[in-house]
Amino acid sequence: MDSIHICTGCGAKNRVPHNKAGLKPKCGKCGVSLVGAPVAGRVNPLGDRDFGARVELSSQPVLVDFYSPTCGPCQMLAPVLDSLAARFSGRLLIYKINTAIEQATAARLGIRGVPTLIFFKHGGEVDRVVGAIPEDDLARRIQAFLG
Ligand SMILES: [Zn+2]
């Protein structure tokens, strides 16, 4: 199966065949490496080290799920985000940050509880949802955010 990688350099969508994923693919448009690039249509794991490049410099709207693997509401929210990542594929990039391991970004953004969802446009925070939220409600927040 192919997967669609979003170039972090220019935002172009690159189709990478599954059997070529190990060959260090590059963006067909600008030549930036696609290794570690986010995949469209799914929730991509993210760490503190890559937050700046992936979120603050993103040319696409971004939603980040700050979660902890031991938190019940976070576990309930995970399949909701998977579903919405597929539904809004190509329009919204969704990342998840495990705050049990990656704590610097969560601390910097003043996150006090998980799950916390933060919407970013052009690197700036636009909206924030604290606590688990039903899929329909979250879909409406995403629609409003994307405009
Ligand atoms: Zn590119």
pLDDT for the residue numbered 103 = 97
Class of domain 1-37: mainly beta
What is the topology classification, in CATH, of domain 41-146? Glutaredoxin (3.40.30)
DSSP readout, 18-52?
GGGGGG--B-TTT--B-TTPPBTTSEEE--HHHHI
Kindly report, as residue ranges, where domains of CATH 2.30.30.380 are found in the chain. 1-37
Residue 133 Cα, ligand 1 centroid: separation in angstroms? 34
79 by DSSP, 3-state: which?
helix
Q: Is 27 among the residues known to form the active site?
A: no
Residues in the chain where the model's pLDDT stays below 70: 21
Q: What percent of the chain has pLDDT over 70?
A: 99
What's the pLDDT at 109?
A: 97
Indicate where the chain has its CATH 3.40.30.10 domain(s).
41-146
Per-residue confidence (pLDDT) for residue 20, from 0 to 100? 73
Residue indicated by tokens 């799914």: 42
How far apart, in whole angstroms, are the C-alpha atoms of residue 121 and residue 61?
A: 5
- Please tell me the distance between residue 67's alpha carbon and the centre of ligand 1 in angstroms: 30
Between the CA of 59 and the centroid of ligand 1 the distance, in Å, is: 11
Residue 21 has what pLDDT?
63
C-alpha of residue 28 to centroid of ligand 1, in Å: 7
Per-residue pLDDT of 36-74, as tens digits, reads 888 989 999 999 999 998 999 888 899 999 999 999 999
